[in-house]
A and B are shown apart, each in its own frame.
Chain A
C-alpha cells in the first residue's frame, strides 16, 4: 500500500510541474503584454515602458521569472496584480467563497436529481423514468451552458419576473439569506443542469451493472422487497463508481461555472479570470488558472488514493 501511494504521488510531481510550465509559458510566450495596454492611454516612451517592465520584474530572463513564480507558488504567494498591485492570492481568496457556493449548490442539486433518477431508470429500463433520464442527458450534453443561462433569464427573469438575472446581492451587500438564494437559483440551476447528464448516465450504468450481480438474485430469491433490493444491494454496490464519476466530473463542472459566472455577473473565480484576461493582468490569469488546475490535480490524486484503499486489485495492477 505504501508503495502504491508513493508511486502515485511521484507521478503527480511531473504533472504539477507541467501545469505550472504550461500556465507560465502560455502567458509569457504570447505576443504583447500588460505594458502595451498601459501605454495606450498615455503616449509612453520606450524608456517608460522599460522602467515599467523593470518594476514588474518582466525584464529578467524567463527561467529566472519562472523559478521565482514557482517558489512563490509553493509558499502560497501568487505575486501581485500588475494593475492594482494587490496580492493575487488575496484576490482569489475573496472569490473562492462565491465560486464554491455556486459550484457546490449546483453539484448537490445535480446529485440529488441524478441518484434517484438513475436508480429508477436502471430499475425499469425502457420505462418513463428511463426515457426521462435519457432526455435529461441529451439536454445536458447538447445544450451549452450559456444558452441555458439565456433561456433561464428569459423564462424566470423576463417573462415570469421571479428571479434576478445579475449579481449576487440586490444592493451589492449581504442583506439576508432569501436575497442570496434568489440570486443563486438561476446560476446554480444552470450549473446543475449542465452537470447532471453525465451523473444520471453513470448512475444508471452502475446500477444496471450492480443489478446483474448474483447477490441481487440471492436477495430477490430470499424474498426481499424490490425497494430493499434496489437501495440496500444494487445502489450500495454501485455507490463507489457513482462517487467516482461525481469527483472526476469536477473539472467539467468548474469549467461550466466559469461561463455561468461571466453571464450572470457572479463575483467568483470565473469572472476574475475574465477580467484578468481582458486587461492582460498576467499575474491574475496565472494565479486563477493554476489554482483551478491544482484543484483538479488534487481531486484526481485523492480519488486514486481512495480507490487504492477501497479496492486492493487496483494497487496490485498498477504496481
Chain B
C-alpha cells in the first residue's frame, strides 16, 4: 500500500478509474443497498399471502411484480431472495479465503508433511465436480442458508489455497525472507509480514469470481429444490417456478426479474474481478512502476506477476 501512495494512486483508485469495473462495483453496491433498505422503506411482506389479489396475479400497483402460487408479493420475495443469494455468495467467498489463505501459506512455507496433507486434501476435494459434493452435503446437513454458506465456503478454498501455495513457494526463496529468518523472526511473523503481502493480490482477483460461482451454485441448488426451500426465498428458488411450462411461457414477470438480478450480479462480480486484476497488475505494465519495482527488488517486497 505504501508504494501505491508514493506512486500517487492506490489499487482502489486505479480500480475506480477503470470505467467498466467502477460501473460493476456501483451496481453491486446499489443491489446491496436495495436488499438492505427496501424492506423497511416499502414495508415489504415476503411471507404474507394477499388473498384479495389472488394466486398468480399479474403485475399491478399493489404488487409491481405480481404474486406467486399462494398469493405472496413477488417483489418482496425478489428483495428477500436477494438478501439470501448475495449473502450466501459473499459470506461463502469470504469463508473460502479465510480457510484457503492460511492453508496455502502453511503448505507453501512449511513444506514437508503440511504440504503433503493440505495439497492431498485439495486433490481429494477437487476430484469431485463441486456441484455433486455440494448437493450431497447440503441435502445431508439440511438445506438452509447457513449450511449453504458453510458447505460452499469449506469446499471452495482449494482454488485459493493453490494460488497462495504456488506463489508462496517462489516467495519463500527470496533473500528478504532468508534475512527475516536469519534475524530470528518467528514463522507466524514471517508469514504475516514478509510473505502474505506478496502473495495476496491474486486472491483479491479470485474472490469476486468465487462469490459469483457460489451464487450460481446456490441458485442451481435452489432451482433443483435442494438449496433454499420455500417459504424462504432465493433467486434460484424464484426461477424454479419457471420449471413448469405454463409459468415459463405465459408469466415471464415471475421468473425474468430474479433471473436478470442473478445474471447481472454474476456479470458484475466478473467485471470487478477483471478490474482488480488490471489494477493490481498495472504496477508491472506501467514503466515508471517498473523502475520502482526493480529498485525495490533488492530491499523490499517485489510485486509478483499475477497469472
Contacts and interface: CB of A to CB of B under 8 A. Distances in A.
- Secondary structure class of chain B's binding surface, majority of residues: helix
B69 interface: no
A150 B242 contact: yes
Given A26-B137, A254-B129, A142 B224 contact: no
Contacts of B255: 150
Interface in A184-214: none
Interface in B260-299: 262-263, 266-267, 270
A18 interface: yes
A82 B271 CA distance: 48
Contacts of B137: 26
A153 B133 CA distance: 27
Interface of B: 120-121, 123-133, 135-137, 139-142, 212, 216, 219-220, 223-224, 226, 236, 239, 242-243, 245, 248-249, 255, 259, 262-263, 266-267, 270
B95 to A, nearest CB: 19
Contact of A292 (B125, B132, B263, B266): B132
Given A277-B226, A285-B136, A15 B127 contact: yes
Interface residues of A, number: 44
B157 to A, nearest CB: 15
Contacts of A292: 128-129, 132
Interface stretch (A123-131, A215-223, A257-265): A257-265
A277 B132 contact: no
B248 A150 contact: yes
B128 A293 contact: yes
Given A18-B124, A158-B249, A263 B132 contact: no
A178 to B, nearest CB: 24
Interface of A: 11, 14-15, 18-19, 22, 26-27, 30-31, 138, 141-147, 150, 153-154, 158-159, 165, 251-252, 254-256, 258-259, 262-263, 273-274, 277, 285, 289, 292-294, 296-297, 300
A296 B223 CA distance: 26
Given A146-B224, A158-B245, A289-B136, A19 B127 contact: yes
A158 B249 CA distance: 7
Q: Which 4 A-B pairs have the closest CB atoms?
A: A255-B129, A18-B124, A30-B140, A255-B131
Contacts of A143: 263, 266
Contacts, number: 114
A30 B151 CA distance: 14
A62 B124 CA distance: 21
Contacts of B136: 26-27, 277, 285, 289
Contacts of B259: 147, 150
B120 A262 contact: no
A293 B123 CA distance: 11
B123 A18 contact: yes
A22 B124 contact: yes
A259 B128 CA distance: 14
A112 B270 CA distance: 26
B132 A142 contact: no
Contact of A255 (B125, B130, B212, B266): B130
A273 B243 CA distance: 20
